[in-house]
Amino acid sequence: MTQETLPAPDVAPVTPSVRFADLALAEPVMRAINEVGYETPSPIQAESIPLLLEGRDLIGQAQTGTGKTAAFALPLLSKIDLSQVRPQLLVLTPTRELALQVAEAMQTYARHLRGFQILPIYGGQGMGLQLSRLHRGVHVVVGTPGRILDHLGRKSLNLDSLQAVVLDEADEMLRMGFIDDVDQILGHTPAKRQVALFSATMPAPIRRIALRHLNEPQEIKIAAKTATVSAIKQRYWQVRGVHKLDALTRILEATDFDAMIIFVRTKLSTEDLAEKLAARGFASAALNGDLNQQQRERTVERLKQGKLDIVVATDVAARGLDVPRISHVFNYDIPNDTESYVHRIGRTGRAGRSGEAILFVAPREKRMLHAIERATNQKIEPMQLPTRNEIVDRRIGQFKAQLDAVRHTEKLAFFRELVQQYQQENELDMDDVAAALAYLVQKEQPLQPTINDEPTVQAERGQREDKRSREPRSDSGEPRQRREYSREERQEPPIGLDMKRYRIDVGREHGVQAKNIVGAIANEISLDSEYIANISIRDSFTVLDLPDGMPLDVFEHLKSVRVCGRKLDIRVDGSAGKSADARPGRNPNSGPSHKKPFKAKTKSAAPKRKAAAKQAAAPAGSTKLKLKKAKPSKKDGAGSKPPKRKP
């Protein structure tokens, strides 16, 4: 290709009246389309099919879930010469899952092409099977770049008769580091072959590939509109108060779903969450890159057959996964970018089906939520967790359904006699016997679980207003000034007492409040709360002032004290700035000192040694501090009393 720039993308509107019957596809292919039930092509299909039938090179830019596979498969299958059993079409995909999905879709479209042969080639599958199939001859090869290069190196794959090449999900191949392999593979293809490149985005390296290997391509860009996710109902729950696993369990119990994919960020999380869901009675399994290909295929097949209801997956492992049963996508961990979110929820609501996507959002992740809303041009509505009554009603309904199923399918004569015998021996009402049996059945999953309902936003607002209405008021009727433990605690230390700045490893993201910190420290070392000052709660840690001269054993004990489930791990704050421990002549990282006001009241050295031994033998939590306020210096006036603190 000699031109330096690609032509402007053709974004012509799609005529609504276009039907597959108007697109001049081969008769066997049209017969398969009618059997599948397709009538109206999607925008990318309506624009791409005529151009590919004409033999033009093509760049198609559209989001996932818009029908790109049929856009290239239908026209290129219509041009296959079945008499030549040689590779005539090569489709490159970034993942094994997508290669299998494309191969299955093309096999469906080619069901009436007599003698048609297609072979998916990917790593993880035995090389012997692929070699034997290639030796017998195939018309279409669908594969991942790495394994295609392996066969080219072995000379087991001959591309001399190739008529067309498709690069599917080109931007994903770039992200996964395959773009150089793709460039090398295209160098092995004949000069006169048709190339179709499909991608959700068009970064610079993809455009360079197009400039190098495509011949005057026609570029089609289907704008990312709400239509891509319009069939998907999107909701989010803001993580607060309830553990994510418990919240997920409650939502699963109260939701009618056929099959579901739950997305997490790491491979380890897939195994962990799948095991915990299985322990709670859900048919679930993990899908990640550590599974070998047979395990992955078995998991997907079980999901298709209804033997699994939930798959916990990472983004890469679920790439290209298309199972009609998937009615819900659950974002247990929010994705790192908006494109990943679109790819995730594209696993449901495909080919005209409806779907639902639920997203967990922590308070610090709200910015990503807004970015997702902008990218999808769609508002994501907040949701409340199912209430206790909803869970109870759901479990009772399932319990009654189980009773009906047993009554109509099982032989119960023996059990009826057994129950009647027990009832007569104990002279009981049959209702009591039935109630006892029902209690035994539901012990593993109580019909009336102990669940605290999540307060609604309106209820939380009402609680705050009620709290304000109960505040003590002055004689004038105005609320008295109340002390608030907020992000920046403004409590001042007692006058005349040296303070030192410390840092503890618990912060806002752990749900801590100043009152939690004050209560824990005051109770553990018997320190009056007025000596805990200037508390500043940050995202992942907190800094505060404590009296200078803290004994070493007290300091070590505070390290292991837990607040909100986390160890304080207290240490001197090295970034204290203008605090007391940053004064000239004092090293802020020197650790706790042993000077007043923590000095014990002793009369001689012997009692002091005895007290020290007793202190060392005492349990850590029993430490008692005796604080003494520093005496005023002569500069302040000899013998004068320090000014009283205002309440």
pLDDT digits (tens, 9 = 90+) for 480-514: 443 333 434 445 556 557 788 999 999 887 888 88
Contact (Cβ atoms closer than 8 angstroms) between residue 383 and residue 240: no
Percent of the chain with pLDDT over 90: 26
The pLDDT score that the predictor gives to residue 494 is: 60
Q: Which of 114-118, 124-128, 450-454 has the lowest mean pLDDT?
A: 450-454
Share of the chain above pLDDT 70, in %: 75
Q: In this structure, what token pair is assigned to residue 161?
A: 């008769």
Segment among 73-82, 146-155, 468-477, 596-605 with least mean pLDDT: 596-605
Cα–Cα distances (Å) from 105 to 284, 422, 435, in that order, read 26, 60, 53
pLDDT at 49 over 60: yes
> What's the pLDDT score for residue 455?
53
Per-residue confidence band for 477, with pLDDT thresholds at 50, 70 and 90? very low
Reply yes or no on whether the pLDDT at 395 is more than 90: no
For tokens 């802020």, what's the residue? 588
The pLDDT of residue 101 is 82
The CB-side HSE value for 464 (13 A sphere, CA atoms) comes to 6
Is the per-residue pLDDT at 56 higher than 60?
yes
Are the beta carbons of 271 and 313 closer than 8 angstroms?
Answer: no
Could you tell me which residues come within 8 angstroms of residue 403 by beta carbon, excluding any fewer than 6 positions away?
none
The pLDDT value given to residue 634? 43
Is 147 or 281 the better-scoring residue by pLDDT? 147
- 101 near 346, Cβ under 8 Å? no
Please indicate whether residue 347 or residue 78 has the higher confidence score (pLDDT). Answer: 78
pLDDT band for position 412 (50/70/90)? confident
| pLDDT given for residue 263 in this prediction | 93
Q: What local confidence, expressed as pLDDT, does residue 491 receive? A: 56
Average pLDDT over residues 54-64: 85
Is residue 578's pLDDT more than 80? no
Residue with tokens 């499909």: 198
DSSP letter (8 states) at residue 531: G
**Model pLDDT, residue 318:** 76
What is the reported pTM? 0.45
pLDDT at 580 over 90: no
Phi, psi of 236 (to 5 degrees): -135, 150
For 430-497, what is the HEC assignment?
HHHHHHHHHHHHCCCCCCCCCCCCCCCHHHHHHHHHHHHHCCCECCCCCECCCCCCCCECCCCCCCCC
For residue 508, which of 543, 542, 480 has the smallest C-alpha distance? Answer: 542
Q: How confident is the model at residue 37 (pLDDT cuts 50, 70, 90)?
A: low
Read off the pLDDT band of 227 (50, 70, 90).
very low
DSSP-derived secondary structure for 115-170: T--EEEE-TTS-HHHHHHHHHH--SEEEE-HHHHHHHHHHT-S--TT--EEEE-SH
The answer to whether residue 12 scores a pLDDT higher than 90 is no
- Indicate the pLDDT class of residue 230, thresholds 50, 70 and 90: low
What's the sign of the alpha-carbon dihedral 601, 602, 608, 610?
Answer: negative
HSE (side-chain half, CA atoms, 13 Å) at 113 = 25
Task: Place 606 in a pLDDT band, splitting at 50, 70 and 90.
Answer: very low
Residues across the chain: 647
- Per DSSP (E only), the strands in 323-446 are 326-331, 355-361, 381-382
Span of 320-329, 405-414, 522-531 with lowest mean pLDDT:
522-531
pLDDT reading at 274 higher than 90: yes
Answer whether residue 317 shows pLDDT above 70.
yes
* DSSP classification of residue 643: P
**Structure tokens, 444:** 């593993």
Alpha helices in 536-604 (DSSP H): 552-560
In the predicted model, what is the mean pLDDT of residues 310-322?
81
Going by pLDDT thresholds of 50, 70 and 90, the confidence category of residue 432 is: confident
Supply the pLDDT for residue 344: 87
Over 50: is that where the pLDDT of 587 sits?
no
Average of per-residue pLDDT across 114-121? 94
Question: How confident is residue 329, by pLDDT bands cut at 50, 70 and 90?
Answer: very high
pLDDT at res. 297:
86
pLDDT at 646: 47
**Closest residue by Cα to residue 376 from 406, 421, 331:** 331
Query: How far is the first Cα of the chain from the last one, in angstroms, to the nearest whole number?
Result: 83
| pLDDT of 458 higher than 60 | no
Segment of 28-37, 55-64, 150-159, 594-603 carrying the highest mean pLDDT: 150-159
Per-residue model confidence (pLDDT) at position 585: 35
Whether the pLDDT of residue 635 is over 50: the answer is: no
> How far apart, in whole angstroms, are the C-alpha atoms of residue 423 and residue 431?
10
Mean pLDDT of the chain: 77
Q: What does the DSSP 8-state code read for residue 88? A: -
Identity (one letter) of the amino acid at 360?
Answer: F
Q: What is the mean pLDDT of residues 7-31?
A: 70
CA atoms within 13 A on the CB side of 628: 10
Element (H, E) at 235: strand 232-238
Measured CA distances, 136 to 133, 139, 429 (Å): 5, 11, 75
Q: Quickly state the pLDDT bin for 330 (edges 50, 70, 90).
A: very high
Q: How far is CA 319 from CA 101, 470, 524, in A?
A: 10, 55, 52
**Full set of structural domains in the chain with CATH:** 20-223 (3.40.50.300), 229-385 (3.40.50.300), 387-464 (no CATH), 499-622 (3.30.70.330)
Question: pLDDT for 282-307, tens place per residue?
Answer: 999 999 878 887 888 899 999 999 99
What is the pLDDT, as a whole number, of residue 429?
A: 85
69 three-class SS: helix
CB-based contact 380:299 (threshold 8 Å): no
Q: Which amino acid is at 288?
A: N
Q: Measuring CA to CA, which residue among 101, 143, 102 is closest to residue 124?
A: 143
Task: Report d(CA 37, CA 109) in Å as an integer.
Answer: 12
Return the higher-pLDDT residue of 616 and 357.
Answer: 357
Of the candidates 92, 111, 117, 100, the one whose C-alpha atom is nearest the C-alpha of residue 36 is 111
Per-residue pLDDT at 77: 95
